[in-house]
Amino acid sequence: MERKKSYIEDVERGIYDIVDQEKHAYIVDKGLTEEIITEISQVKNEPQWMLDFRLKCLKIYKSMPVPMWSADLSELDIENIVHYVKPDAKQSHTWDDVPDYIKNTFERLGIPQAERESLAGVGAQYDSEVIYHSMSEHLARQGVIYMDIDKALIEYEDIIKEYFMTLITPHDHKFAALHGAVWSGGSYVYVPEGVQVDLPLQSYFRLNAKGAGQFEHTLIIVEKGASLHFIEGCSAPKYSVQNLHAGAVELFIREGAKLRYSTIENWSRNMYNLNTKRALVDAHGTIEWISGSFGSKVSMLYPMSILQGAHAKSEFTGVTFASTGQYLDTGMKVIHAAPYTNSTVHAKSISKNGGYAYYRSLLRVLESAHNCKSTVNCESLMLDNFSKSDTLPIIELFNDQVDIGHEAKIGRISDDAIFYMMSRGISEEEAKAMVVRGFVEPISKELPLEYAVELNNLITMELEGTIG
């Protein structure tokens, strides 16, 4: 609408931006050398094979070029990132034992409350280490394991050795190699055959230290016929220097098992979010991705489902919101590697105030994957004339017995729609917010209530920068 406009450069992110005074037990020097890697591994008392693996990853990392096909990463200066910051807190199983300043941060983010009300287990990571972990008794009795992965490396060394970075290998891309070299923290979940985990488990990753990186590793195995809903939350306060997030998520879904993996990421505007997520799904298994990408300076995030068993299924639902100075390159990859596999993608992006939302996807159907079905639906909404949106769907078919539906829509918020709503007494700001909330409604209604509310709150926060 034509009229005076005022733009605010950055959003007021409220609770997410509150910075704790830095108190760490241990911090390594900036940059990346064999000495630093060795130091991280020694501080953690890791087995020799893990140190060897880290050093191998470092070599691969150094040998690989910075990817050039997407975001401009030239400003990202790895030598200036601190790769390991150990918080000054031992891991606790009750919030009472967590130092107050860290506990308060998680209180503000609503984690302990959610734990009391709607979760079966919680892991909370602060900078490089998990400082809190707990799970309900009855899950433990059924053999469910939910613990921080550094601890799992000691207690379940064989399993970790068997699975760790086999789905995402250090050769995949430069930041996967970086992750392998400097990873720290994250969660390990094991759900035994046939066990249905009724309430979700949630891990929350908070990066507080300035100029640091967070490289958590999540490894989940859901055995035959079992089911789990896992929620990952991430945030960091705002700094003027770069932070880097390069986590890795490896999910193994066995025959007939089901995993829903939900993420709401809300990074500050100085963050490079270069995360890698992958799921391997056996016959009749299901992976459901729910993904909300907010904040960050640059995001490159494309969860991948590999459907390796017949009738395996992947569903992806995602929202991306890009505002001033943000380049969010998100999407989904699906590999159909078995017959009768099924995938759906439902992606929405919003761009505002010059933000750039890029949707990029890959659909690959292998020769063996006859009679598979794929439905892709992506929609972009631009809130003004100087925001940008693109879509690049790549489809590679190696057999023609497939049923593929693809729909992509890019649109701008219409002046007529806003006028219509304002003609009923609704302010321009509220009208835009309603249109945006309506746009993501098909996604928010899929979320558990608390997360639908969080999604709506984040959208409101993002929108508050535009005043007509």
Partner 1 sequence: MLLNIKNLVATVEDTEILKGVDLTVGLGEVHVIMGPNGAGKSTLANVLMGHPKYQVKDGAVEFNGEDLLDMDVDERAKKGIFMSFQHPQEIPGVALANFIRTAKREITEQKVNLLEFSKELVSKLNQLNMKQEYMDRSLNQGFSGGEKKKSEIVQMAMLKPKLAILDETDSGLDIDAIKVVYEEIQNMAQKDNSIILITHYSRILDFVKPDAIHVLKDGKIVATGDRSLADRIEAEGYDIFN
Contact region with partner 1 (CB under 8 A), list: 1-9, 144-152, 210-218, 250-258 = 1-9
In whole angstroms, the minimum distance from the beta carbon of 467 to partner 1 comes to 12
- Residue 369-408 contact track with partner 1, rule CB under 8 A, x = bound: ----------------------------------------
Residue 427 as a binder of partner 1 (CB under 8 A): the answer is yes
In whole angstroms, the minimum distance from the beta carbon of 9 to partner 1 comes to 25
- SS3 of residue 318 by DSSP: strand
In whole angstroms, the minimum distance from the beta carbon of 353 to partner 1 comes to 19
In whole angstroms, the minimum distance from the beta carbon of 405 to partner 1 comes to 19
Residue 321 as a binder of partner 1 (CB under 8 A): the answer is no
Residue 415 as a binder of partner 1 (CB under 8 A): the answer is yes
Q: How many other CB atoms sit within 10 Å of the CB of residue 65?
A: 7
What residue has token string 């918080």? Answer: 87
Rule CB under 8 A: choose which of 31, 437, 450, 456 binds partner 1: 437
**240 φ/ψ angles, rounded to the nearest 5 degrees:** -90, -10
List, as own/partner pairs, every contact residues 158-167 make where C-beta atoms lie below 8 angstroms and the sequence separation is at least 24, other chains included. Answer: 159/190, 159/221, 160/188, 160/219, 161/49, 163/219, 163/221, 163/250, 163/252, 164/53, 164/217, 164/219, 164/250, 165/53, 165/248, 165/250, 166/250, 167/250, 167/251, 167/252, 167/278, 167/279, 167/280, 167/306
Helix (H) or strand (E) holding 336: strand 327-336
Contact region with partner 1 (CB under 8 A), list: 129-137, 193-201, 282-290, 409-417 = 409-417
Residue 410 as a binder of partner 1 (CB under 8 A): the answer is no
Residue 467 as a binder of partner 1 (CB under 8 A): the answer is no
CA proximity to 164, closest of 144, 147, 188, 182:
188
Residue 430 as a binder of partner 1 (CB under 8 A): the answer is yes
- SS3 of residue 104 by DSSP: helix
Contact region with partner 1 (CB under 8 A), list: 34-42, 59-67, 224-232, 436-444 = 436-444
Cα separation, 255 vs 312, in Å, equals 8
Is 428 in contact with 398 (CB distance < 8 Å)?
A: no
Contact region with partner 1 (CB under 8 A), list: 97-105, 211-219, 331-339, 428-436 = 428-436
In whole angstroms, the minimum distance from the beta carbon of 426 to partner 1 comes to 5
Contact region with partner 1 (CB under 8 A), list: 94-102, 179-187, 275-283, 423-431 = 423-431
How many residues would you count in the chain? Answer: 468
Residue 442 as a binder of partner 1 (CB under 8 A): the answer is yes
Cα separation, 302 vs 67, in Å, equals 14
The footprint of partner 1 (CB under 8 A) covers 1-3, 414-417, 419-428, 430, 434-435, 437-442
